[in-house]
Amino acid sequence: MNRPPGLRERKKQQTRELIAQVARSLFTERGFEAVTVDDVARAADVSRKTVFNYFPTKEDLVYWRLETFESELLTAVGERRPGESITAAFERFVLTPRGLLAERDPEAVEHLAALTRMIVASPALLAREGQIFERYTASLADLIAEQTRPRDDDVEPWVAANAMMGVHRALVYFTRERVLAGMRNPQLARDVRKQAKRAIALLEQGLGRLEDRSELRSSG
């Protein structure tokens, strides 16, 4: 059983969230490039060193919650239901509303929309996002390889991981385009879900035969 976090851990988490919230407010107000780490430290009433202790790069002040995304994705695929295919588990994960697509409070929605505009306007953030998604693709490929046990020269796990993460990235871009055009929930969530189902159906045509072969090979 997981122990609840102690007082020290809770305080560290609160400090991290405070710094990130302050940073995002400054970024959306002034633009990412116009705000320095020193600006964030002063506004959060912490030292520059403290900011970097929690966030190795300035871009991580925006993307730090993506760590949860990676963990949830790998859990959905790695601990999928008995008899559930990898593609089906990925579909279930993708169709679960989160972030802007799950938010209903108008003020929070507009805050996230402002964050979207800020990200799209920043080459540095878009480049960092690409690096993060590449890392997630590699993690997913490793997991698929572990569960399907391909031959050493088999590229299926890497192809499958890139295809699935390609779907996710396409949905991110689709969502951003609609947000920038002024679309909001519930229509936004419905449109993204529709696109997700179409994309997964396309994946199924090529990835549907990918299965867990570990038991087959161990018994062969």
For the chain, what are the domain ranges? 7-59, 65-219
Q: Do domains 7-59 and 65-219 have the same CATH topology?
A: no
Q: What was the pLDDT predicted at 67?
A: 79
pLDDT at 209: 58
Q: With a cut of 50, list the residues of the chain below it in pLDDT.
A: 214-220
CA distance 111 to 100: 9
Which CATH number does the domain 7-59 belong to among 1.10.10.60, 3.40.50.10490, 3.40.50.720, 3.40.605.10?
Answer: 1.10.10.60
How many Å apart are CA 31 and CA 24, to the nearest integer? Answer: 9
108-159 per-position pLDDT tens digit: 889 889 999 999 999 999 999 999 999 999 999 999 999 998 887 889 999 9
* Mean model confidence pLDDT for the chain: 89
State both tokens at 4.
Answer: 């609840």
pLDDT at res. 152: 79
The pTM assigned to this predicted structure is 0.84
Fold of 65-219: Tetracycline Repressor; domain 2 (1.10.357)
Q: How far is Cα 60 from Cα 218, in angstroms, rounded to an integer? A: 42
